[in-house]
Each structure stands twice: as C-alpha cells, then as structure tokens.
Amino acid sequence: MSKELASLTLGDAGAALLLERAPTGSEGIKFAGFTTVADYSRLCLAYPKGHKPAARMFTDARGIHRAAMANTPLLLHEVLDTVGISLHDIDHVITHQTSARAIRKGMAKMSAYFGESPRHDAVITVDRYGNTASTTHTVALIEELESRHIRPGETVALIALASGLEIGIVLLTLDEELVERLGTVIEQVSLTDGGWRTHHSALRLAVNAAKHCLHEAGRNAHDVDLLINAGIYRDRNLAEPALAAMIQEDIGANPEDPHEQAHGTFSFDVSNGSCGVLTALQIVDGFLKSRAIDLALVVASDADPGHGMSEDFPFSPAGAALLCDWSDDARGVERIHWINIPDDGESFSATVGLLDGRNVLRFAESEKADELFAAAAAQAAEACLHASALTLDDIDAIVAAPAHSGFRAALSAHMGFSETQIIVAEDQRTHTASLAAAFDRASAQIRPGGRVLLVAAGTGITAGAALYRMPDGTASRQR
C-alpha cells in the first residue's frame, strides 16, 4: 500500500468554536486528557519533496493505526476512572475521521478491551467529507447536533489522534440551550390567489401574502430582518432588480436610507423552482442559528408575466408568505438533505426568446417529469430519515411539492407511504408557493408536536427533504 494513500482522503473544511467558562456544576467539558507517544513520531511525515508545489504526506497507515489502538484504550481507561463513569455511560463517540473501516475496527477493539460499548455507534463523516484534519471533530459534532442525534445531558467523547503520535480524549455534555436551540419555526403562513387585479402580477401576489402574514402574526414590517423571495415567474419577465427588493419597499420593511440606531432589512431572491421555499428555509435557518437575525419572511409567487409575454403559461397565479422565527425547544426545521441528478433541463425548462419580434416565455416538459421528480424526492427523503435514525412509522405526514397528482402517486409508490398521508397544495397548478400551501393544509391536520417530512422536487433535477416538528398551536391563515 502506498505511503501517500492517506493524503487522498483529505477534505476541505473550516470550523470555529466559541468557548466560555461555565458555572460550576453545569454542563460542559468534564475532563480532557492528552499525551504524546513519541516513539511513533515518524509514522506520518509531511514535507515538500521534489519540484512539485506544496507538501506531500507519507504515512505508515497500518503502523499508526496499530499504535493508536494499542495506546488509546489505556488513556481512555484512565479518563473514565478519573470521572467515575464506564464506557457504556458514553452516549456518543466522535473520533478522528481517517477511514470508516478504521473507525469501526478501532471501536470493536475498544469494546473488546472494556467488555462493553458506548450507547451509540461511533459517528462517521469521512464517507461524506473526507478527513478534514483539525476540523474533523467540529464538523461531526455540528452535524450530529443539526440531525438531533445528541440530546441535552448526554455524554460525548471526542477522541483525537494525530501524527506525533498525539492522543487526546475530551468528555463533554451539552446543555439544553445549545442542543435544542437549533430550530427554525414557521410562525405564520398566508396564501393568496389571483384576482382580476393580480393574475398578471407576481409582485402584487407576494405583497398581499406578505402583508396578510404579518398582520395575522401581529408583527410590524419593520420587525423583518431578512426577506427572501422564492418566486420565479414575475411581471413583464422582470430580471432585475431582485423582486424581493420591490416587495420589501411595498410592504414597508425598512426601505429607507440607513441611519444610526436604525433597524435594516436584507432582501434577495433565490431561484429553485418547486424547491425554492425549502431552499429559502435552509438559508433562513442559517441566519437564525448564527443569531444574525430574529425574524425572517419567505415569500413566493408566480403569475403570467403579461399579455403576449408567455406561451401557454402552465401555472396558476398564486402567492404565499411564511414568517419564521426562533425556537428554543425541539420544534421546527431540522437539517435539509439535497439530491441532485443533472438532466440538462430535459424534465422541465422555461426560456425567454424572440417570437415574432418580441420576447416570449415558453415552456417544455417531459411526460416523465413527475416520475423523475418523485424518484429524486424519495432519495432525499430516505437520506433525511436515515440521518435522523427514523423510519416512515415515525412520521405523521409528508408535506410535498409539486402538487401534481402524478408526482404524489409516484412519490407514494417509491416510498411505500400512503398517498392519503402525502399532503400537497389544493391547486395542482401552484408552482413556487406549492410547498407553503401544502404546509398550510398540514398545519390544520397534524397534531401539535407532530412530525412531518417536508419534501420538494423540481427541475434540475433537484430534490430536498427536511423533518419539521410542529409547534404547539401552529398559526396559519389562508385568504
């Protein structure tokens, strides 16, 4: 085996942790033990060699693995004795991510040494991100938190192994504030459909939905920190500026010039078809997690761009708005999983081009589009459930987009889940507002605290899925 093979496993990542002193008796780092077994310091070397740029890494992978497995149990035994717990009292183990096979083999030897095992299998992320070196434990820890695998008060063991041979073990417990704060809640949903004044105006549809949503939630437009528009088809096939900026101005969400001690609003568009609302929720979740914002508004709307500006426009004029804020408990959106199956737009495409001397929006759709979208959606849903160690039996309903009957039937067949438990928008021709409309229907049907699976698929082919825990008394209004 080549000594440079290990260098092929390296992945890129950046990580940052903010540490603060915890009060005595509270959750946090319980113990940290480190040692260097210098007899093995030459088993992994990295240095420039020859005329090629950057360093090359040379590793005796089997030798360093044997050395780590011979010495890590001894150090862990000492740490456990000091703290007064057993290996089985450890809930989660996050090791240095060298290879999945090495981690499983190492944990088997650890269990044989102690005569017992941790309560859960060791966390493995190397199969997705590679060996991200110094960031490996942080990457894995954040993923476990976002997937809700770690509960408040559980004990996590971070086992660090590095060339040298450096061995480190950190035992920590995470409090409820850190574990449970990772949740974005949809506080309010409002829907609008096309009347005689709005059937050719995606802007008016979005503005009406946004104003109604804020009113029903008892919020002021000035409270909105972030506004994301996920709509696609708009007035006069407008390309610039972002429609979100116009929506922001028309609802009065801090449109004025910045000034001292003022509250501003950041607005922009995302374009991801039926997946747009789910994409926006992922962005909102990131902003809320970072505490950069307190309140976000997601809007989506589509309308025929105007007389003679489209050819056989396939979607109903519809708009939706979702008001999102923070949850300090286990409610809300969990990690979103994506699947991409590039098809060069064969399943569905929309283009603007000259026709009889004027720019016209035209569409092309494959007869197999619903089947292709459903297959991708099922993959995303299965990945989401697998990551959360759940099955369909743990789900109250699937909230899905698009709303086509063909997509719904195909998704049911692919997942083996009753079609009656797959909730979609009432109007099959709703486009980017479809997932919001489906969620609006689900919020009236699903019990408080119930768990739903948000699933969206569209052209690309792109599909996404996320678990959502219903808050107590979800507010939802339709007009």
pLDDT digits (tens, 9 = 90+) for 237-262: 888 888 999 999 999 998 887 766 66
Render pLDDT for 175-197 as a digit per residue (tens, 0 to 9): 776 665 557 899 999 999 876 66
Give me the DSSP letters along 309-350.
Answer: SBSS--S--EEEEEEEEE-SSS-EEEEEEEEE---TTSSEEE
Residue 476 has pLDDT above 50, yes or no: no
CATH topology of domain 184-469: Peroxisomal Thiolase; Chain A, domain 1 (3.40.47)
pLDDT for 208 equals 95
pLDDT for 475 equals 43
Place of tokens 């928008």: 425
pLDDT for 6 equals 61
Render pLDDT for 332-381 as a digit per residue (tens, 0 to 9): 888 899 999 999 889 998 888 877 777 888 999 999 999 999 999 999 99
Contact indicator for 231, 274 with CB cutoff of 8 Å: no
Q: Give the pLDDT mean for 23-50.
A: 79
pLDDT for 329 equals 60
pTM: 0.71
pLDDT for 432 equals 96
More confident residue, 316 or 308: 316
- What is the rounded radius of gyration, in angstroms, for the C-alpha atoms of the chain? 26
Q: Give the pLDDT mean for 156-162.
A: 88
Q: What are phi and psi of 150, to 5 degrees?
A: -100, 130
More confident residue, 307 or 437: 437
pLDDT for 259 equals 63
pLDDT for 54 equals 66
Does a cis peptide bond (omega within 30 degrees of 0) precede residue 5? Answer: no
Give me the DSSP letters along 76-113.
Answer: HHHHHHHHT--GGG--EEEE--S-HHHHHHHHHHHHHH
For 351, residues 6+ apart whose C-beta sits below 8 A from its C-beta are 361, 362
Q: How far apart are CA 320 and CA 312, in angstroms?
A: 23
23-31: Cβ within 8 A, 24+ apart? 26/175, 27/152, 27/153, 27/172, 27/173, 27/174, 27/175, 28/172, 28/173, 28/175, 29/170, 29/171, 29/172, 30/83, 30/155, 30/171, 30/172, 30/173, 31/79, 31/82, 31/83, 31/169, 31/170, 31/171
pLDDT for 152 equals 82
pLDDT for 197 equals 62
Residue 446 DSSP label = S
Contact indicator for 301, 190 with CB cutoff of 8 Å: no
pLDDT for 260 equals 66
Highest mean pLDDT among 132-136, 184-188, 198-202: 184-188
Q: What does the domain layout of the chain look like in residue ranges? A: 5-179, 184-469
| Confidence class for position 472, pLDDT limits 50, 70, 90 | low
**Tokens (6 digits) for 56:** 């090359």
Comparing C-alpha atoms, which of 279, 338, 299, 305 is closest to residue 437?
299
184 - beta bridge partners? 326, 333
Q: How far apart are CA 390 and CA 272, in angstroms?
A: 27
**Tokens (6 digits) for 194:** 């096309």
Direct distance between the N- and C-terminal alpha carbons of the chain, in angstroms, rounded to an integer: 67
Residue 22 has pLDDT above 60, yes or no: yes
Q: Is 4 exposed, middle or buried (0-12, 13-18, 19+ CB in 10 A)?
A: exposed
**DSSP strand pairing (29-36 vs 451-458):** unpaired
CA dihedral 349, 350, 356, 359 (to 10 degrees): -150
**Percentage above 70 pLDDT, the chain:** 92
Comparing C-alpha atoms, which of 181, 217, 242, 243 is closest to residue 295?
217
**Tokens (6 digits) for 108:** 């088997």
Residue 273 has pLDDT above 70, yes or no: yes
CATH topology of domain 5-179: Peroxisomal Thiolase; Chain A, domain 1 (3.40.47)
More confident residue, 449 or 186: 186
More confident residue, 87 or 62: 87
Matching fold, domains 5-179 and 184-469: yes
pLDDT for 384 equals 92
Place of tokens 């969990």: 334
pLDDT for 371 equals 95
